Structure 1
């Protein structure tokens, strides 16, 4: 059985780089913000898209109130690297122009788990790089 959800969330956030900058460390040091990420993990584990959206909204409100809006990127990364994200994607183009796309997952995933991961991926692709630049600018 898995250990504490708090330790799991902490390790996952650290694997996404929160401990590499002073701003990133806020996600671990601010207890309310950290608990928001724990709620996000619970929503992901339950594969509840509505609860995931609510948790991300709470995280967004919390980081805005702290004056660190760019930390929302860690919520997007959290979802992007969930089990609903494909391990591999294959794209084949046939001679007639038809494109076949197949994906492989680490385990069987539900449509809701894929939706959660895709939603996080979409937001990360839209604004993740610029938000990460802001996070790493705090390193100086």
Structure 2
């Protein structure tokens, strides 16, 4: 029996720690935001880069409309920590002719589109995660006071 996409998305979000903060919990508690994450998973399964980007933009816009842009970090994390990104990156090897050999291992065979999604997600996650997590945890401590 196949597991539902809704359970799959919820488990993945929980594994990324959405419940550790009140704002993060909205990724599951807010029905419309959760459905945006389900759309993201569907886009990932389609292996269409433009559709994945569109789904992430929808999540970003929903978070902005809630006044909680920082929750979008979970969209980047959702993609960043997936089979589309390398499990292991070996040390770069400088080649005699001036190039560089970069070797990576994946958990399974991935398509070029999946690799593109993974690289894009890693770039966005690396760019925004520190500042978004800072706001996420600061907003959590403000509500705890």
User: d(CA) in 1 for partners of 2:95 and 2:75?
Assistant: 41
Question: What's the CA shift for 1:129?
Answer: 1.0
C-alpha contact (below 8 Å) 1:36/1:59 kept by paired residues: yes
Give the CA deviation at 1:57.
0.8
2:50 is matched with: 50
Pairs within 5 Å for 1:95-134: 96=96, 98-134=99-135
CA distance in 2, matches of 1:2, 1:129: 36
Take 1:76 and 1:54, find their aligned partners in 2: how far apart are those partners? 13
How far 1:82 sits from its partner (Å)? 1.9
Q: What's the CA shift string for 1:17-36, capped at 9, x where partnerless?
A: 10000000111110000000
Cα deviation, residue 46, structure 1: 1.3
| 2:102 counterpart SS class | strand
TM-score normalised according to structure 1 size: 0.94
Q: Deviations over 1:92-130 (max 9, x none)?
A: 434846532101111110000001111110001111111
Cα-to-partner distance string for 1:51-110 (whole Å, 9 max, x where unaligned): 101101111110000010001100000110121101111124348465321011111100
Q: Which residue of 2 aligns with 1:73?
A: 73
The alignment status of 1:12 with 2:12, answered yes or no, reads yes
Unaligned 5+ segments in structure 1 are none
SS, match of residue 126 in structure 2 = helix
Gaps of 5+ in 2: none
Q: CA deviation at 1:136?
A: 1.3
Q: Which has the higher contact order (CA 8 A, sep 6+)?
A: 1
- Corresponding residue for residue 21 of structure 1: 21
C-alpha spacing 1:137/1:46, structure 2 compared with 1 (3 Å): same
Does the CA-based 8 Å contact 1:80-1:121 persist in structure 2? Answer: yes
Aligned residues: 140
